[in-house]
Amino acid sequence: MADLKQNYFQRRTKSRGPRTNQRITSQDVQVIASDGDNLGILNLQDAISRAKEQGLDLIEIAPNAKPPVCKIMDMGKYKYDAQKKANKAKKKQKKIELKEIKLRPVTEVHDYTFKIKNAQKFIAKGDKVKFTIRFKGRELQHSSLGNELMDKIKQDMESVGKVELQPKFDGKQMIMVIQPL
């Protein structure tokens, strides 16, 4: 019972990265030298001894191949290159944000043009823009004003974006989302 409890609470750590040297499970491996030459299929112990002669490690590159493909190289350099590649891929990612612009059905012309210019800047940067028209009190009876304003927004934003979510009512507000072309 005590053995069972000890094993149950023992932390299981998952190894990170490819298998190296003694951790490789296959008996025969396809070996690639540090300069890129193909050494062919070798016994695992022969491959490890060749790597040790050069002061390097045997790293399993393609574990699912038959036989697994291993390369003779420095493990530290391999991890460093993998980290650099991951960072480069992360830099190239573009995170799309949703910017919100709030209006009222009785928004004046100057305020409207100012907000439309801001929306066009957001879309030029690659972000989506959510237009929200909020109705207060008796304005809700004149929802046609909101529809006209949304149509005007659609026309003004045609050159830079397209409508992703058509105008719809959500409680006391009308919502529309525009995304870049």
Q: What is the mean pLDDT of residues 20-32?
A: 88
The pLDDT score that the predictor gives to residue 121 is 93
Q: What is the mean pLDDT of residues 113-137?
A: 93
More confident residue, 8 or 51: 51
The pLDDT score that the predictor gives to residue 78 is 87
The pLDDT score that the predictor gives to residue 6 is 57
- The answer on pLDDT for 24 being more than 70 is yes
Is 68 within 8 Å of 47 (Cβ atoms)? no
One-letter-per-residue 3-state SS of the chain = CHHHHHHHHCCCCCCCCCCEHHHCCCCEEEEECCCCCEEEEEEHHHHHHHHHHCCCEEEEEECCCCCCEEEEECHHHHHHHHHHHHHHHHHHCCCCCEEEEEECCCCCHHHHHHHHHHHHHHHHCCCEEEEEEECCHHHHHHHHHHHHHHHHHHHHHCCCEEEEEEEEEECCEEEEEEEEC
- Measured CA to CA, the distance from residue 110 to residue 16 in angstroms comes to 58
The pLDDT score that the predictor gives to residue 72 is 92
- In this structure, what token pair is assigned to residue 46? 């022969």
Q: How confident is the model at residue 90 (pLDDT cuts 50, 70, 90)?
A: confident
Q: Domains in the chain, ordered, with CATH?
A: 16-87 (3.10.20.80), 98-180 (3.30.110.10)
- The answer on pLDDT for 115 being more than 90 is yes
pTM: 0.53
The pLDDT score that the predictor gives to residue 5 is 56
